[in-house]
Chain A
Amino acid sequence: MKLQDISPDQVVYWQWGPFSLNATIVFTWGIMAFLVIGSWLVTRRLSTDENISRWQNMLEIIVKAIRDEIRQVTHQGPEMYMPLIGTLFLFIGVSNVLSVIPWFSAPTASLSTTTALALCVFVAVPLYGVSRQGLLKYLKQYVEPTIFMLPFNIMGELSRTLALAVRLYGNIMSSAKIVAILLTLVPLFVPIVMDALGLLTGLIQAYIFGVLAMVYISSATRAHQQEQQQEIEENEGES
């Protein structure tokens, strides 16, 4: 990836007619294979003894941390959201952390990858909302204070998807670009410091993407929960 390239989409390895194989696709599939094969290797021999393998220990810590975080953000059980949020966090986190490897360009530094991830969240919000509250109650949220808020609610839905995509892209691309610029100015030692900072911001961005997706989804499912709580309180008051 040259200094002028603004995203790994522009690095084309192989082209056949209208189909081209660029660095984004290659590294995305690489990370997917890494995650799937890695977790398959670890979960092949799970044990509940006192002596568990260190890899199983590591995965247990990660999974437990994600579950606790989801439970704290949503105040609901994490089982329903774990597949989506956990996958988003792990994919973004691994791709950002691996970007310290030379010649590896993180797929999250391309606007197409982050747009795809943000669109997943954009689709997941109404899916979870409808499945939790039913279609009418979910749609009623859009006209919640008054009917005049309808266009603003829709615009908010679209603009936060755009913000989700551009935020991740801008952060990862900027840390990669800063390291590249510093390499041309002070090639000794200074880029390493910025790379370490990039590790930190990369993990924070993965965390923030997951938490924001969780907040959006839980805000679409929350009305239902509040009503349930009210019912419970009313029942307690009656009895």
Chain B
Amino acid sequence: MDNVGLIGMASVISSGLTIGIGAIGPAIGEGRAVAQALAAIAQQPDEQNTITRTLFVGLAMIESTAIYAFVVSMILIFANPFWNQVVEQGGG
């Protein structure tokens, strides 16, 4: 197989793997965080505001790991530097 096909195949497969595996950890983490926050709100409904704000900030922190994986997979598909280099060499 030539270079273009190899790079295209590797990029597509690894971008799928990136977002697929990268979403597992944050999903588990966010699920646990929300479950704990719901239990806390059920126990102490008066503290709902504080718990919700802390929950949102924490969720954003956890979610950023998934977002990193997503950005990497988007770069692999839409702005792949290796692909561009090979295409330039082939075209030029």
Contact = CB atoms under 8 A, between A and B. Distances in A.
B56 A207 contact: yes
A163 B61 CA distance: 9
Contacts of A171: 63, 67
Contact of B67 (A5, A72, A167, A212): A167
B13 interface: no
Contacts, number: 47
A170 interface: yes
Contact of B75 (A6, A163, A167): A6
A215 B64 contact: no
Specify which of B50, B56, B75 lies most central, judged by the most chain A CB atoms within 10 Å of its CB: B56
Interface in B52-92: 53, 56-57, 60-61, 63-64, 67-68, 70-71, 74-75, 78-79
A73 B74 contact: no
A174 B67 contact: yes
Nearest to B74: A6
A173 interface: yes
B49 interface: yes
A208 B60 CA distance: 7
Interface in B18-76: 49-50, 53, 56-57, 60-61, 63-64, 67-68, 70-71, 74-75
Nearest to A111: B71
B81 to A, nearest CB: 12
Nearest to B79: A6
A173 B74 contact: yes
Nearest to A212: B57
Nearest to A7: B79
A196 interface: no
Interface of A: 4-6, 72-73, 163, 166-167, 169-171, 173-174, 177, 204-205, 207-208, 211-212, 215
5 contacts: A73-B53, A167-B60, A170-B71, A204-B60, A212-B60
